[in-house]
């Protein structure tokens, strides 16, 4: 083995350009696979964690088919159905702001005012209050807003937030701050349901009913949903809060496509390497003949060529892993600010053990297999 390594090292050192280009094909393929294999799982992991936190694991969401509000008495039709653990109604309205409403430098053009039940809502969603307190029963012109909205508007805890309504401009006292929304959209202004109904002159009206079920069994959950549908009829739309599921699927598809791109890159490199070693073997017929003449058998000659391929494969794979890691970290760091701004979540580097093993296996196989097949 030492003899084969010595001959391989001398031969590779004597043909530096060919050795460099052959190894470079491995480096590029492994870099692409490992680099993209780091970024996409990191982004997906951060997205899924924040999505679960934002959605509060709500099982059922009920809205009117037209998107309009409906009577709060609708809640009474289904709240006593067996299998519902927590249920609450809310009123959400988007308020379009006049130009420069919060100043010339403000980028806020619209807000989503959400009226909710302060007692039940925290059981459905995770409202992480970072400053102040959450809404309480009996609160009048009080609001909880996000830290990001507070920064953009230039207000802080205990300040007042101006809000245009059908009754004129209303001033709400900021009693609490929460992290910004995970999903892209208008920032929310949380008020009590009673206050929202007053602001928009929509007494006894709600626009969304949300509920959590007592069971996570799929069959039982579907049976409860069917019972709810039977009670409400065809006027309403039922669905779970699976926001971002299509986006998550697109991310998974993107990861597969990037992996395929890396595999194709390695496959192309394999063909190049195959042709390279085909030329190498043709050029070394004289050397191989001399080795056979002094007693080297076919296995020894094959071992020599495979050793040369293994050396380049190991070096190329090692360099590719290092560059791929830097690529993945670089892309992740570059996207961190955008993710923080639009999705209000932190993205951290995720390196899956399977990714390392697959990258190593493909890197070595892309060089060893063509060489072995040629022999």
For the chain, domain boundaries: 2-53+245-374, 58-239
CA distance 119 to 32: 51
Decide if pLDDT at 108 tops 70: yes
**Long-range Cβ contact pairs of 9-16 (< 8 A, separation 24 or more):** 9/311, 11/308, 12/308, 12/311, 12/312
Q: How confident is the model at residue 242 (pLDDT cuts 50, 70, 90)?
A: very low
Q: What is the pTM of this model?
A: 0.54
Say which residue the tokens 């280009």 belong to. Answer: 21
Distance (Å, whole) CA 146 – CA 235: 34
Residue count of the chain: 375
Any long-range contacts for 48-54 (C-beta under 8 Å, 24+ apart)? 48/248, 49/345, 50/182, 50/343, 50/344, 50/345, 51/182, 51/183, 51/243, 51/244, 51/248, 53/126, 53/182, 54/125, 54/126, 54/181, 54/182, 54/183, 54/243
Over the chain, what is the mean pLDDT?
78
Residue 8: its pLDDT value, please? 62
- pLDDT tens per residue across span 200-239: 999 999 999 999 888 877 788 889 989 999 999 888 988 7
- Beta pairing partners, 353: none
Token pair recorded at residue 59: 């099982």
Sign of the dihedral defined by the CA atoms of residues 211, 213, 216, 220, in that order: negative
Cα gap 119→126, rounded to integer Å? 13
Torsion sign over Cα 200, 202, 208, 211: positive
Q: 3-state class of 130 per DSSP?
A: coil
pLDDT in tens, 66-79: 888 999 999 988 98
Report d(CA 276, CA 27) in Å as an integer. Answer: 16
pLDDT tens by residue, 319-332: 988 998 898 888 88
**Computed over its alpha carbons, how large is the radius of gyration of the chain?**
31
C-beta neighbour count of 349 within 10 angstroms = 15
Q: What angle do CA 112, 114, 115 make, to 5 degrees?
A: 155
CB atoms within 10 A of CB 59: 22
Query: Nearest 5 degrees, angle CA 58-CA 63-CA 67?
Result: 135
Residue with tokens 């990258």: 359
Does the pLDDT at position 368 exceed 80? no
Sorting pLDDT into bands at 50, 70 and 90, what band is 134? Answer: very high
Question: What confidence score (pLDDT) does residue 92 get?
Answer: 93
Alpha-carbon span 65 to 87, nearest angstrom: 20
Bridging pattern class, strands 208-213 and 84-96: antiparallel
User: Token pair for residue 293?
Assistant: 């003449």
Q: Which helix (H) or strand (E) holds 87?
A: strand 84-96
The DSSP 8-state label assigned to residue 235 in this structure reads G
pLDDT in tens, 251-286: 566 556 666 665 665 566 556 556 655 666 666 667
**Given a cut of 80, is residue 309 above it in pLDDT?**
no
Helix (H) or strand (E) holding 68: none
pLDDT category at 307 given cuts 50, 70, 90 is confident
Task: Work out the percent of the chain whose per-residue pLDDT is above 70.
Answer: 67
Lowest mean pLDDT among 31-40, 47-56, 294-303, 363-372: 47-56
Residue 369 scores a pLDDT above 70: no
Q: What is the pLDDT of residue 221?
A: 86
Q: CA 60, 66, 71 angle in degrees (round to 5)?
A: 70
What confidence tier does 136 reach under pLDDT thresholds 50, 70, 90?
A: very high
């Amino acid at each position: 083995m030492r003899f084969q390594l010595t001959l391989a090292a001398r031969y590779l050192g004597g043909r530096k350009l060919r050795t460099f280009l052959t190894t470079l094909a491995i480096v590029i393929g492994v870099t692409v696979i490992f680099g993209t294999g780091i970024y996409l799982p990191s982004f997906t992991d951060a997205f899924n964690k924040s999505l679960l936190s934002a959605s509060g694991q709500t099982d059922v969401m009920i809205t009117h088919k037209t998107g309009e509000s409906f009577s709060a008495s609708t809640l009474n039709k289904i709240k006593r159905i067996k299998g519902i653990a927590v249920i609450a109604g809310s009123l959400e309205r988007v308020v379009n702001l006049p130009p420069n409403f919060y100043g010339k430098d403000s980028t806020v053009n619209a807000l989503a005012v959400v009226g909710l039940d302060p007692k039940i809502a925290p059981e459905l969603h995770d409202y992480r209050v970072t400053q102040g307190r959450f809404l309480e029963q009996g609160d009048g012109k009080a609001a909880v807003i996000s830290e990001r909205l507070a920064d953009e508007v230039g207000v802080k805890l205990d300040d007042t937030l101006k809000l245009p309504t059908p009754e004129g401009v209303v001033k709400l006292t900021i009693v609490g701050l929460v992290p910004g929304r995970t999903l892209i959209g208008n920032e929310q202004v949380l008020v009590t349901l009673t206050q929202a109904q007053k602001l928009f002159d929509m007494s006894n009206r709600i626009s969304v009913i949300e509920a959590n079920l007592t069971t996570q069994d799929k069959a039982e959950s579907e049976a409860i949903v069917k019972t709810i549908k039977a009670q409400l009829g065809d006027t309403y739309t039922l669905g779970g809060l699976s926001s971002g599921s299509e986006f998550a699927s697109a991310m998974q598809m993107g990861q597969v496509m990037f992996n395929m791109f890396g595999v194709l890159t390695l496959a192309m490199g394999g063909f190049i390497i195959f042709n390279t070693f085909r030329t190498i073997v043709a050029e070394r017929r004289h050397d191989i003949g001399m080795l056979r003449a002094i007693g080297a058998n076919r296995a020894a000659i094959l071992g020599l060529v495979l050793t040369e391929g293994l050396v380049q494969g190991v070096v190329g794979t090692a360099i590719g892993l290092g560059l791929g890691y830097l690529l993945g970290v670089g892309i992740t760091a570059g996207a961190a600010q955008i993710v923080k701004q639009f999705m209000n979540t932190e993205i951290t580097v995720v390196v899956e053990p399977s990714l390392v093993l697959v990258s190593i296996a493909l890197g070595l196989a892309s060089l060893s297999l063509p060489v072995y097949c040629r022999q």
